[in-house]
Structure 1
Amino acid sequence: MGEEVKVIVFALGKEEYGVEVEKVRTIERMQPITRVPKTLPFIKGVINLRGIVIPIIDLRERFGMQGKEYTENTRIIIVAANELEVGLIVDSANDVIDVDSDTINDPPEIVGGIRAKYLRGVARVTEERLLVLLNLGEVLSKSEIIQLENIEE
């Protein structure tokens, strides 16, 4: 048995994704987002969270999925990606689970239309339940990170 990886499970549509707990700062309810002009469409703007300005990304749009109305279940997962705190809008954040690193396989080239570079792997949680693990470093490209860093100024 490999080592246990603690992940926060969140949903986009019918798919379940995971991100390592140590990369997550906090999970917030949806709140008003201040638009920022001349940013990429999936960058929704910024929020002020306890005095820190955090850029917010809609993960559905980032992955080329159909947009969806935000609901009571919509959450913003604040993560640390490449020395930058970013909020990821997800349909819901459901769970914290331990994943055995031995159950994590390399991602197929495309999972649900999402290119493999965004994914760290796919973990088999149970016979029927697969969890797609995000590669946060790839969810934002270098040029997008520069654009987000400029938002904060």
Structure 2
Amino acid sequence: MDPMSAPVTIRDAVEADLVSVAAIYTHESLHAYSTFETEERPLGDWQHKLTTGDPFVVAVDGDRVVGFAYASPFRDRPAYHRTRETSVYLHTDARRSGTGSLLYAALLERLRAAGFHTALALIAMPNDGSVALHVRHGFELAGTMSEVGDKQDRMIDVAIYQLML
């Protein structure tokens, strides 16, 4: 992200954003443990996210998508209908720029406006940047699941952060 450029714009995701969204997520899937995906997600999965009614926002720098955040159902049981799991991903160029915080503020605003009650974030550990982002937005540690992920030749803990909306 060029520090001399106009401020990043946060807006609802549209179909034209999805190739960039997929590229950011694929990088994380193949090279990081911020997601437990291990291969590229089909574009159709991202297209489906646009139709669910759950918030899905992008950060745009000029005409380039540099990050995104979305909410999805926590589990498929009916009693969880007021709980959403949140996710945020940034292009490597947009990290430590405040873009993640802008995305999260917009996502949480949309969740509140839609009447959701609880937001959950599952964070692969260690991840000081993601923990700081969530704490900055009012999330609190609800617990840690030890060694539940197996990626990149290591067992990974997942911390659960919760925000009452």
Say whether the fold is shared (TM-score over 0.5): no
Higher relative contact order at CA 8 Å, sep ≥6: structure 1 or structure 2?
A: 1
TM-score where L is the length of structure 2: 0.28
- Name the one with the larger helix percent: 2
- Name the one with the larger strand percent: 1
